Copies of this chain bind each other. A is one copy, B any other.
Amino acid sequence: MASKHGFRKSPADLLSVGPDFVLDQVDSSASPGFSGKKRDAEQVLAERARKLGSLQEQLFAESKFGGSKSILLVLQAMDTAGKGGIVSHVVGSVDPQGVQLHAFKAPTEEEKQHDFLWRIEKQVPRAGMLGVFDRSHYEDVLIHRVHGWADEAELERRYQAINDFEAELTASGTKIIKVMLHISPDTQKERLTARLADPSKYWKYSPGDVTERGFWPQYMQAYQLAFEKTSTEIAPWHVVPADKKWYARLAVQELLVAALESLQLSWPEGDYDLAEERKRVAAS
């Protein structure tokens, strides 16, 4: 990694949320640790996509011979922050057979009859997979806090339940990477305006986006609290400046590469007699 790929320092270190983190002090237009410009970004993204794809293939291969490891990327953000772009441009570079993507919408009537983690647990990645949550269990401590759909005691219970859930998931072999894509209100306004100016983007717009936009400070406070309660050593949050889409994509790509590298993957031996199988093929 490092300099030859444009990052002077690892985004995993630079962007992770520690004890003294203050969301209000993050510059959403910055590009921390990246020494290149936008014009370099496309090339770096393509180069590192090969690395990411190769690591993911090893993860998948290991699972075919008993490996139990997986990756879970949790994406949270205000509307228009670029979750979809991360999915298409970063996750999209990986072989689809190794990707398990789930977009959580408003819960169904059945889901509402269960605790908030019920629908989440059903979507955790299988061994060998790069799982992606587009929104997640964090909605239950974000929008629920903002709109008062849960009281303080219930929210506290949920933070604890989330930490327990993530600890168990980690213990069973899943490496969790939590990402908040951080944009400014002005950036959101530009992007909403752009969606309403282009017929090929109308479908991405929802009137509810503007409604939620009216609660911006409350959302930022809810994120801050969620970070304080759930940015743990095993599953830290990362706040990724996302006014520059190209930066956010590079940074999340590096977070995934670093997570996969931390698993110390290798190509599995087969569970068959190699010499014998070579003979069988030759004779066939």
Contact = CB atoms under 8 A, between A and B. Distances in A.
Given A213-B284, A277-B210, A281-B192, A199 B267 contact: yes
Contacts of A272: 205-207
A278 interface: yes
Interface centre among A64, A214, A267, A281, by most B CB within 10 Å? A281
A25 interface: no
Contacts of A65: 203
Taking each of A96, A103, A284, which has the highest tally of chain B beta carbons within 10 Å of its own beta carbon?
Answer: A96
A210 B284 contact: yes
Determine how many copies of this chain the complex contains: 2
Nearest to A63: B203
A81 interface: no
A70 to B, nearest CB: 16
A148 interface: no
A190 to B, nearest CB: 10
Interface string A168-211: 00000000000000000000010011001001101111110010
Contacts of A132: 96
Interface stretch (A85-93, A106-114, A115-123, A135-143): A85-93
> How many of chain A's residues touch chain B, expressed as a range?
35 or more
Contacts of A47: none
A84 interface: yes
B64 A268 contact: no
B134 A97 contact: yes
A20 interface: no
Question: 7 nearest interchain CB pairs?
Answer: A61-B203, A88-B95, A202-B270, A192-B281, A210-B280, A200-B267, A196-B278
A233 interface: no
Contacts of A207: 272, 277, 280
